[in-house]
């Protein structure tokens, strides 16, 4: 049985995916105390805190290192500070631990913008460091919309395979094939909705009606000036990217016209479009939305893992 560690674990998207495939989690960490409590509720294990204070010797031996390392320094919805701030430099903690333990695979995830920030110097640095410690990196931008998830969520998935593996453990990776499963936002909506999710304003503008379902967000209107968080979409398409931050009336979930009313999405609906079971616990209210916005989609991690082949 392969063993894995879950760094910057969040609410456990990597763990859900890999445990479903029979792998064993032997270590987890996350500095956010609310996330630690959520993780404990879901998995019966409280993660370690600040990884910069954890000796690599304390971390158990493992075959796979998983990390959705903090994306805010690289996200267009953040300040895009790249490697220049502490959260950006947390990538070097992955390098530190991988260099000591030499797992056969590093499985990483981050926002698409990491490929272009600082004139692509950030990704060049990441590739260089991964190569220096003995790994061949594969990276692909995948959109969850094309893998049976009713959310437009583009992320970069990194599969780093150790270059010195012996013939009896030789791995090869190619990106997973899109399934284009016909699932839409309307398929996961709840019937009983908190009244606080509905938007009542006199500046709502519906520009058009759509009748055809598509595997992408279908914008039909706006409110105020139509900025980010003020655009209205149809449930016949997909949700926009669930975000941990952002402003506007539709902050974090987007706005949707459902049964002729405009509203945000509920926590349970956000769980569904992130691919978590309804029984998966998250914090209440704003913290819950933030935790889901920061999470990785288990189905996407599973698709990537299934595409690593033993040759």
Distance (Å, whole) CA 250 – CA 229:
4
Distance (Å, whole) CA 90 – CA 72:
12
Distance (Å, whole) CA 162 – CA 105:
6
Report phi then psi at 40, rounded to 5: -65, -40
DSSP 214-261: -SS--EEEESTT--TT-EEE-TTS-B----SS--STTTTT-EEEETTE
pTM above 0.85, yes or no: yes
Distance (Å, whole) CA 27 – CA 204:
48
β-bridge pairing 171-173 and 308-310? antiparallel
Any domain includes 60: yes
Any domain includes 169: yes
CATH code of the domain covering residue 170: 3.40.50.150
pLDDT at 170: 82
Say yes or no to pLDDT of 240 above 60.
yes
Any domain includes 300: yes
Mean pLDDT of 51-74: 87
Distance (Å, whole) CA 215 – CA 152:
8
pLDDT at 85: 46
**Domain range spanning residue 121?**
3-180+296-310
Mean pLDDT of 66-89: 59
Any domain includes 226: no
Report phi then psi at 305, rounded to 5: -60, -40
Burial of residue 157 (CB within 10 Å: 0-12, 13-18, 19+) is: buried
Give me 298's structure tokens.
């288990």
pLDDT, tens digit, 9 for 90 and up, residues 78-129: 454 545 545 558 899 999 999 999 999 999 999 999 999 888 988 999 999 9
User: How many residues in the chain?
Assistant: 311
Report how far apart, in Å, the C-alpha atoms of 203 and of each of 32, 221, 249 are. Answer: 38, 11, 12
pLDDT at 160: 97
Give me 101's structure tokens.
């333990």
pLDDT at 51: 95
Active site residues: 71
Any domain includes 128: yes
Any domain includes 190: no
Per cent of the chain over pLDDT 70 is 93
Helix (H, G, I), strand (E, B) or coil at 7: strand
Say yes or no to pLDDT of 56 above 80.
yes
Any domain includes 246: no
Say yes or no to pLDDT of 195 above 90.
yes
Mean pLDDT of 235-245: 95
β-bridge pairing 205-206 and 171-173? unpaired
Match 């105390």 to its residue by tokens: 33
pLDDT at 310: 78
Helix (H, G, I), strand (E, B) or coil at 184: coil
Give me 169's structure tokens.
């453990």
Any domain includes 78: yes
Match 């980010």 to its residue by tokens: 228
Say yes or no to pLDDT of 136 above 50.
yes
Mean pLDDT of 154-182: 92
pLDDT, tens digit, 9 for 90 and up, residues 216-230: 999 999 999 999 899
Helix (H, G, I), strand (E, B) or coil at 181: coil
pLDDT at 166: 77
Q: Give the total number of structural domains in the chain.
A: 1
């Amino acid at each position: 049985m392969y063993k894995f560690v879950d760094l910057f674990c969040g609410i456990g998207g990597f763990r859900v995916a890999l445990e479903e495939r029979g792998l064993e989690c032997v270590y987890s960490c996350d500095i956010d105390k609310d996330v630690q409590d959520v993780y404990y509720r879901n998995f019966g294990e409280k993660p370690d805190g600040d990884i910069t204070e954890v000796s690599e010797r304390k971390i158990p031996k493992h075959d796979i290192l998983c990390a959705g390392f903090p994306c805010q320094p690289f996200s267009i919805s953040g300040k895009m500070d790249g490697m220049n701030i502490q959260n950006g430099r947390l990538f070097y903690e992955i390098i530190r631990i991988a260099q000591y333990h030499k797992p056969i695979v590093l499985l990483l995830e981050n926002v698409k913008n990491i490929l272009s920030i600082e004139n692509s110097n950030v990704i060049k640095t990441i590739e260089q460091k991964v190569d220096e410690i003995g790994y061949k990196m594969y990276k692909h931008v995948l959109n969850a919309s094309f893998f049976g998830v009713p959310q437009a969520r583009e992320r970069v998935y990194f599969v780093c395979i150790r270059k010195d593996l012996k013939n009896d453990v030789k791995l090869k990776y190619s990106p997973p094939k899109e399934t284009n499963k016909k699932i839409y936002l309307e398929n996961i909506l709840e019937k009983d909705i908190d009244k606080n999710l509905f938007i009542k304003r006199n500046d709502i503008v519906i520009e058009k009606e759509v009748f055809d379902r598509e595997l992408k967000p279908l914008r039909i209107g706006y409110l105020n000036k139509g900025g980010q968080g003020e655009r209205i979409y149809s449930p016949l398409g997909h949700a926009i990217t669930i975000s941990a931050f952002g402003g506007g009336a539709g902050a974090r979930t987007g706005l949707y016209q459902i049964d002729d009313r405009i509203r945000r999405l509920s926590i349970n609906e956000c769980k569904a479009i992130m691919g978590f079971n309804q029984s998966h616990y998250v914090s209440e209210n704003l913290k819950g939305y933030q935790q889901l916005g920061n999470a990785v989609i288990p189905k996407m991690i599973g698709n990537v893992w299934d595409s690593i082949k033993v040759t």
